Amino acid sequence: MPKEKKPEEKKPEEKKSKRSFLKLIILVVLVIVLGVGGYLGWDMFIKEGKNEAQISETQPQKNKEEALITYPLDTFIVNLMDKSGSGKRYLKAGIILEIGNQEQGMMLKKYKPQLRDTILILLSSKSFKEISTMEGKLELKQELLLRVNQILSEAVVRRIYFTEFVVQ
């Protein structure tokens, strides 16, 4: 009987060794596949970054230079519309307009009184609830952009930036 027990004991050990050997092979293959995939992905991103840098260095783009031209407006201090009767709230906003070129800057100087009037009316028509959220501020930017370009009768202003935005 002892002879029969010995072969039975070897079978579980052989199964365990086959399973561990199979797990080891799967693990090695998985590490190799992940390593190769990671290297190829990293290589592709580095090459794209280098190509973009070379293109931007060799070919100066006029759009980037144009985007840097800004036209600051004076600070606006307005009473916010008060629907709740909880007291007066004030808004202090500093605004900068992004334009395309110097000629458009001269055009803005020509229409500065009309722009200030439109901006003052729009800002004072807003309530605290409308401008207290991020979505409200972004919506206000879009409204300002539309109204400013409407006064100028063409899309001169590309973006509007708030340099100050204080509500009290």
pLDDT, tens only, 79-88: 998 776 566 8
What is the pLDDT at residue 36? Answer: 85
Token output for 142:
């879009």
Residue 72 and residue 103 share a domain: yes
Token output for 146:
């539309």
Q: Which of 42, 59, 76 is the last residue of a domain?
A: 59
**Would the pTM count as exceeding 0.75?**
no
* pLDDT band per the 50, 70, 90 thresholds, residue 98: very high
- Interatomic CA distance for residues 40 and 33, integer angstroms: 11
Residue 109 and residue 52 share a domain: no
Residue 103 and residue 36 share a domain: no
Residue 51 and residue 69 share a domain: no
Q: Which of 14, 38, 59 is the last residue of a domain?
A: 59
What is the pLDDT at residue 14? Answer: 64
Residue 163 and residue 83 share a domain: yes
Q: Give the percent of the chain with pLDDT over 90.
A: 38
Domain total of the chain: 2
Higher pLDDT, 56 or 150: 150
Residue 130 and residue 109 share a domain: yes
Q: What is the mean pLDDT of residues 97-117?
A: 90
Number of neighbours of residue 85 by Cβ within 10 angstroms: 5
Using DSSP, state whether 88 is helix, strand or coil: coil
Residue 111 and residue 132 share a domain: yes
Q: What is the CATH number of the domain that holds 131?
A: 3.30.479.30
What is the pLDDT at residue 66? Answer: 46
Residue 82 and residue 55 share a domain: no
Residue 81 and residue 54 share a domain: no
Q: Which of 24, 42, 59 is the last residue of a domain?
A: 59
Which domain covers residue 159, as residue numbers? 65-167
Q: Which helix (H) or strand (E) holds 72?
A: strand 70-72
pLDDT tens readout for residues 20-64: 888 889 989 989 988 888 888 777 777 666 655 555 555 555 555
What is the pLDDT at residue 53? Answer: 56
Higher pLDDT, 135 or 45: 135
Residue 75 and residue 98 share a domain: yes
Residue 43 and residue 28 share a domain: yes
Q: What's 75's DSSP letter?
A: P
Residue 99 and residue 53 share a domain: no
Q: Which helix (H) or strand (E) holds 160?
A: strand 157-167
